[in-house]
Structure 1
Amino acid sequence: MELSKSGLWGDQGDGTYINPILPGDYSDPDVIGVGSDYYCISSTFHLSPGMIVMHSKDLVNWSSIGHVVDDITQISPKLNYDKMNHHGRGIWAGAIRFHNGKFWVYFCTPDEGFFMSTATNPEGPWEPLQHIWDVAGWDDCCPFWDDDGQGYLATTHFADNYQMHLIKMSNDGKQLLMESDVIFHQYKGSEASKLYKINELYYFFHSEIRVESGNEVRVVMMLRASSLYGPYEEKEILHTHGEELDREPNQGGLVQAPTGEWLFITHHGSCGYLEGRTLSLLPVTWMDGWPIIGEDIDGDGIGEMVWGGKKPIAGYPIVLPNQSDDFKHPKLKHHWEWSHQPRSDKWSLTERPGFLRLHACIPLEIGNFFTVCNVLTQRAMKTAKSEVIVKIDLTGMEDGQEAGICHMGTQYCTLGVCQQGSIKRLKYNDTGTCSDGPIIEGSFLWLKSSWNLDGIHTYAYSLNGEDFQDFGGQYQLNWGFYRGDRVGLYCYNEKTEKGYLDVEWFQYHYLSN
């Protein structure tokens, strides 16, 4: 019962769930359990704040609770609003662990190397980033502390034929002891490393590219040894078959429920044009000391994708991704992320309480929407029907300003108001192909974006909040920069840094199931 065919997902309200548990882009997940709580992180690339942190009580229903990196210019000035050219770079896959009473997150960036931070509360605040190794060409790192307290970092040097390394860390976890560096595995595409110690055995989880049925596919592998430095046995633990059959589950993390049951949170590597890399929850069974992810359907000792089952932990209510906002809080809600680090003097929640104010700035490159600073976005979900409606106040607009609602992937599509002189006019823009609409006389305007399972999207507008009229063409929501589609708000001025947009609310409606 795959999402793309049924539209069903997540908690079904009857003690069962259907995969994916989150039908939006949550790339490169890792998960841990601490007491009766579960925490998951996900890559955010060039978006700020960076590295989303989520919480769950039952491993099926998840809510966003914070980010590890408030200011991504701690990573590189290339991620700042005055560059806007680092799309798809920034924060790649990381890992979260709980050690010595603190939460630890380590991650790599492809250009700047390795970073880490700690927190006593996963909601934050997180300590300022520590740049523990300035290097390029590495990814997918994972910390591990052995029983004697010694810390290690497992990671992949993808620029050197995907060699997987194990490096000791200093006692405070803020330095890598490079003289200890060893290569423990290498195969085509070997990455997504996670290191566990279970029943006195060491397990190196990873994925790699192998030939199955004549095709190259990314498969899920496990190495096992009684000693950290091996020698290691190797076993495939989850078949992947590509986009048509299972959408390639691979990168993720193992976690144990209070019942003793083991489970695996994964993303689907064969991304959709709309939703990107969604999250699924798979059962794990143990066979001869090996974890088998999913269901061993044909008896070959290797798991297959499972599209649902019984919830592993009962008694908790359905939690839907909270994506609406009335902007009455002192901070933006955690599902919001800016494209690159925003310009702090160009947005406010306090200048007009109860509204988000977006001040206009001049794009770095006129006519290139990807160089507009302070574009505020969130994940678009793949559900049977999704709808976003925003209410905006145009009173503060100035000559040369344009502002409204947008979708972003490798292409973009906007519906907004463009002011020339004293005239405000509706404007539709599909990656540079524009259509002018009617003159807008009033101060308030309602804009709506609607899409379906196929990712076919249309815009509409209203002058009273009730009667909507379609405007613009159909647009295919699309994948871009390792992410699924992003829906959000924008404001800029190609002539001068004057004018602003006030957003009263942003409502996200979708069919849950």
Structure 2
Amino acid sequence: MNRIIFIPMLLWWQLSGICSNAQMHGNWGDQGNGTYVNPVIPADYSDLDAIRVGNDYYAISSTMQFSPGMVVIHSRDLINWEIIGHVVDDLTSISPQMNWDRMNCYGKGIWAGSIRYYKNKFWVYFGTPDDGFFMSTATHPAGPWEPVHQLWNVNGWDDCCSFCDDDGQLYFIATNFAIDPKNKKKYNIHLFRMTPDGRSLVLESDSIVHQSHGSEANKLYKINGLYYHYFSEVRTEGRVMMMARSESIYGPREIRQLNHVDQKLDREPNQGGLLQTPAGDWYFLTHHGSGDWEGRPASLLPVHWTDGWPIVGKPGADTIGRMVWSGEKPISRKRKISLQSSDGFNTGKLNVQWEWNYQPRPGKWSFTARKGFLRLYAFTPIHSKKQTSVILRAGNTLTQRSMRTPNNVASLKIDISHMADGQFSGLTHFSTTSYSLFGIQQEKGVRTLVYDNNGKTTSGITVGEKFIWLRSSWDSNGISQYAFSTDGKSYKPLGSTYQLTWGSYRGDRIGIFNFNTQEDKGYVDIDWFRYDYSH
């Protein structure tokens, strides 16, 4: 094959200093001087896959139980990203367990998938650990996407990818991680042919192409006439990137390790997508597999082709790549774009950054009841033996990702004049390991400011005003301090600080909650939500 030469970037800084700066102090993304710092997305964009179509880059990220599901993001330079939509509007088309009245899929739901462009359409395939594999197509990645179609009803599988060969034949690759109860660490990777419409597997074509400890994160490519199967596996040092290549899609294969990892310093970059710019340079957009309170953020790593192998990161003496934390931007564009975060609720629909915790309850939220406001009707949380935290059982909780940046301020203006006894509404941070609630609680007609930190409550003032302003501020260490205002100008803190946390493969979520522990009664009107974050 023709050897691909990568021109080294300038300013690759030493690992220790930049790791400390990026991870501990929140430096990230476009630096405004032609360089960038990893992570390029300092928030929970896990299980990434990415492609280039023309001069545009598109990526998808898993969303577990959040709705709408499977977020789609877009970039023109691989550094500045914006959210453009989601693939799955209705999670109940996948499983009733992801509905507001079940809420039974923490750590499950929509896992890793792949995005590809062929036959004049975008194709997304993904799986859930309990319900099997699903797919959808769209003529534009922002949607609308076709209703999801179940490709295969199976459990114990994950990390799939579709592939269209030069002759138009479609293939599907995925991992069976539940093959042997006695040896759960060894996973089989299977390859199938698909029917021409891409909606069914040819099950009799099943072929096991690899087995190793934790082998998943599958992607298929064809580069310069060779087939490349990307995957990850668990070795002594941690989860590393691997690549198999062959002249035939069925092998025989050569296999090589592409990078080294350090679980504490670089947090195991592994799942992602291999990309080539129009100029011919190669990169790998990846999540960091070891989650922290912000989740699994995304970094962009250079790819150096060595003897036909795409080595990810900075090659060492053993020609295996290491994590790098800074470099020149792949594409020179002066315009800086930030992931959307604020919403004035005046367009008649939710902005694309929002995701409900589970499929929301129809009729319990509205943009038409009061123009320019989001109305949330309160109802009782479900009963669950698995979850004792009320926020994990309360439907219609509206969320978005919490960023790991030096300065984060999320504010909410809320009309509380139509609350009912038993109702509690306001701002929340939560994961499956901890939570905090900050807002107004009404009992016996009296509305009181309440801060609930994992069940330990602190009460503030009695609120007689129609509006209350609530705020959470946190830093790059994930330490949040709540504050309130009765005039929208002067804010006062209440209660102790709260440590944002990680749980069930998800980072912390900032959100708006509204529930009633007594009956389905009362509502609040959200005027606006503003979330400012910085470099």
Sort the TM-score into its range (normalised by shorter chain). Answer: over 0.9
Q: Quick check: 1:426 aligned with 2:449?
A: yes
- Describe the SS at the equivalent of 1:187: strand
Which ranges in structure 1 are unaligned for 5 or more consecutive residues?
none
CA contact (8 A) 1:33 1:39 kept: yes
- Describe the SS at the equivalent of 2:213: coil
How far apart in 2 are the matches of 1:336 and 1:491? 16
Q: How do 1:42-441 residues align onto structure 2 when only pairs under 5 Å count?
A: 42-160=61-179, 161-212=186-237, 217-243=238-264, 245-272=265-292, 274-296=293-315, 298-365=316-383, 368-409=390-431, 410-441=433-464
Post-superposition offset of 1:241: 1.3
Q: Which amino acid aligns with 1:224?
A: R
How far apart in 1 are the matches of 2:533 and 2:195? 48
1:3-28 alpha-carbon deviations (Å, 9 max, x no partner): 22342100011111100000000010
Q: Which runs of 4+ in 1 moved over 3 A?
A: none
How far apart in 2 are the matches of 1:367 and 1:456? 20
Corresponding position of 1:34: 53
CA contact (8 A) 1:219 1:238 kept: yes
CA contact (8 A) 1:429 1:435 kept: yes
CA RMSD across the alignment = 1.0
How far apart in 2 are the matches of 1:433 and 1:207? 42
How far apart in 1 are the matches of 2:247 and 2:70? 33
- Describe the SS at the equivalent of 1:344: coil
May I ask how many residue pairs the two structures share in their alignment?
505
1:274-328 alpha-carbon deviations (Å, 9 max, x no partner): 21100000111111000011111x3211111110111111124111111001001
Q: Quick check: 1:16 aligned with 2:35?
A: yes
The partner residue of 2:479 within 436, 456, 459 is 456
Post-superposition offset of 1:167: 0.5
Post-superposition offset of 1:85: 1.9
CA contact (8 A) 1:220 1:236 kept: yes
Pick closer, same or farther for the CA change 1:329–1:99 going to 2, 3 Å: same
- Describe the SS at the equivalent of 2:372: coil
How far apart in 2 are the matches of 1:263 and 1:236? 16
How far apart in 1 are the matches of 2:485 and 2:314? 50
How far apart in 2 are the matches of 1:143 and 1:322? 29
Post-superposition offset of 1:464: 0.7
- Describe the SS at the equivalent of 1:473: coil
How far apart in 1 are the matches of 2:414 and 2:503? 27
The partner residue of 1:444 within 444, 460, 467 is 467
How far apart in 2 are the matches of 1:197 and 1:229? 13
Pick closer, same or farther for the CA change 1:367–1:27 going to 2, 3 Å: closer
- Describe the SS at the equivalent of 1:505: strand
CA contact (8 A) 1:30 1:94 kept: yes
Q: Percent identity?
A: 53
CA contact (8 A) 1:57 1:316 kept: no
How far apart in 1 are the matches of 2:333 and 2:493? 43
CA contact (8 A) 1:85 1:371 kept: no
Post-superposition offset of 1:392: 0.6
How far apart in 2 are the matches of 1:153 and 1:111? 19
- Describe the SS at the equivalent of 1:300: coil
- Describe the SS at the equivalent of 2:504: coil
Q: Which amino acid aligns with 2:285?
A: I
How far apart in 2 are the matches of 1:174 and 1:96? 15
The partner residue of 2:506 within 476, 483, 488 is 483
Post-superposition offset of 1:267: 0.3
CA contact (8 A) 1:142 1:193 kept: yes
How far apart in 2 are the matches of 1:135 and 1:163? 15
How far apart in 2 are the matches of 1:421 and 1:211? 60
CA contact (8 A) 1:459 1:472 kept: yes
Post-superposition offset of 1:238: 1.0
1:434-468 alpha-carbon deviations (Å, 9 max, x no partner): 12221001001000101111111111111111111
How far apart in 1 are the matches of 2:96 and 2:520? 22
- Describe the SS at the equivalent of 1:5: helix
How far apart in 1 are the matches of 2:360 and 2:504? 18
- Describe the SS at the equivalent of 2:92: helix
Q: Which amino acid aligns with 2:83?
A: S
Post-superposition offset of 1:367: 6.4
How far apart in 2 are the matches of 1:509 and 1:367? 28
How far apart in 1 are the matches of 2:458 and 2:32? 44
1:207-264 alpha-carbon deviations (Å, 9 max, x no partner): 001124xxxx111100011111100001001111112x21111110001101011110
Post-superposition offset of 1:431: 1.8
CA contact (8 A) 1:162 1:186 kept: yes
Pick closer, same or farther for the CA change 1:455–1:226 going to 2, 3 Å: same
CA contact (8 A) 1:206 1:222 kept: yes
How far apart in 1 are the matches of 2:389 and 2:275? 47
How far apart in 2 are the matches of 1:166 and 1:293? 25
How far apart in 2 are the matches of 1:339 and 1:168? 35
1:143-195 alpha-carbon deviations (Å, 9 max, x no partner): 00111111000100011131000000000000000000000000000000000
